[in-house]
Amino acid sequence: MEHQQPHVVVHPLPVQGHIKPLLCLAQLLSEDGLYVSFVITHYTHKRLVNLSALTTQFPNLHFEPFSDGLPDDHPRCLNFDFFVDIKTKTKPFFKDLLLSLDTKSEKGLSPPVTCVINDGYLSYPLDVAEELKIPLFTFIAHGACFLLTYYSIPKLIEEGHIPFSDDNMNLEINGIAGLEGVLRRKNLPPACMMKEVTSPLFRQYLDETLAMNRASGLIINTFDDLEVQCLPHLANNFSKVYSIGPLHVFLNSKIGNRSHLIASHASLWKVEQNCIAWLDSQPLKSVVYVSFGTLAKRSISQLLEFWHGLVNSGHPFLWVIHPDVVLDEERENVMPEELQKGPKDNGCIVDWAPQEEVLAHKAVGGFVTHCGWNSTLESIMARIPLICWPYTNDQNINATLVSKVWRIGVELEGCDRQTIKSAIRAVMNGRKEEFQNSIDKIAKCGLNGIGHGGSSNQNLEFLVEDIKKIKSLE
């Protein structure tokens, strides 16, 4: 009977910010009785922390490592060359893996593959799934508004908004349904910064991204009330849209007391739990938490300005500075002592922190962030106002949503110590009540969405039902 379960193959982009939400979704599906194969490259599999504990907690969840076809010394940086390499070199290995799963099912070792859930940043699994006649759902690890900007590119070109030659990146772009009051040049996808939209490079970038609408449906880590203005317009580009989020809170609500056991198991870095003991010694809502994610790169001089801004704000701070945050060309430089140890009295600097646990701590009152989608959702649901310093990709539009639409924080307009100090004091003191009231309302909507009868809860049920329908047609 077990082998009559639907079998879902889940394949993430091999970076922290994409692995975590897709793994949350995989765990949710496994809790609903589906057999889930989480497919990751050998390179990523070796770096993930404590996977054995996850398989114990979720017996329907199975990890299937495979080769990405790249040499061991490949940098695996998320640039255009990387995506070209994996499309040509990883694709045949992914196909072989799907075929090997079929062989396992013929031997009675697992159910046959029902469908694939694939990270939308990867197009080669869609090609393979179509070739093998396996239905595929696309998963997006960022918000609906940012994805809508991609599907607005043809209209942006038609109306002359792109390409542009001047450097006014704050210019507002009007006339795009679902993005009114949100879209500025700086919020556009990186491809839109190219000077020539007829170039093969631009066309390949756009075609690769928009290929996702060939999928059977779109799964997105958001909730209806959060992005109500753009989700209906996004639905015009897909046969079905399943807004299921926030996934980390949804999963925690499903598994109850087990949630504290698995929070860090999807991490590519080992967390430093000693920072929690430090937080325990700090006053209520006094601490500024600082983390710029796993991909944002900063110069040492920028980090030093941040250090001075934090110290001058007068608030204690917990700051995550892992080695990858420094620009590659400065990686060999000696890190200033301030950025290694922090001030003796009111600062704590660590390589990596258990972010969900930190944001939920009673001592934390504000979050300085690059405004990646996971961090934004985690901060909202922990009811912690944000200070946004976006770097690239979806982070700019997320920062605009935070500061202009949802009004749950501020966006830094510069990287000097005075600006940083003023922003911290605004969030922690001057506008604290305003931001707290707004974020409390949004977090409540998020909780309602994952509750019984809520939109995210229903959409997960619809997704599971649709997967079971595919299984019944086999």
Burial class (CB in 10 A: 0-12, 13-18, 19+), 425: middle
- Say whether 119 is catalytic: yes
Q: Which amino acid is at 90?
A: T
Paired tokens of 452:
């019984």
Q: Are the C-beta atoms of 448 and 224 separated by less than 8 Å? A: no
Question: What dihedral do alpha carbons 66, 352, 399, 390 form, nearest 10°?
Answer: -80
Q: Residues in the chain, how many? A: 474
The residue written with tokens 């469908």 in the block is 115
Distance CA 371, CA 356 (A): 15
Q: Are 223 and 445 in contact (CB under 8 A)?
A: yes
Q: Do residues 100 and 132 lie in contact, with contact meaning Cβ atoms separated by under 8 Å? A: no
Q: In whole angstroms, what is the distance from residue 420 CA to residue 406 CA?
A: 21
Q: Which of 453, 407, 456, 451 is CA-nearest to residue 222?
A: 456
Could you tell me the CA-to-CA distances from 118 to 244, 305, 363 in Å, in that order?
A: 15, 40, 38
- Is 308 an annotated catalytic residue? no
* CA distances to 36, 98, 138, 231, 467 from 115, in Å: 10, 10, 11, 24, 7
Annotated active-site residue in 11, 18, 161, 248: 18
Catalytic hit among 7, 11, 68, 119: 119
How many helices and strands in the chain, by DSSP H and E? Answer: 21, 13
Q: Are 26 and 5 in contact (CB under 8 A)?
A: no
Give me the active site residues, please.
Answer: 18, 119
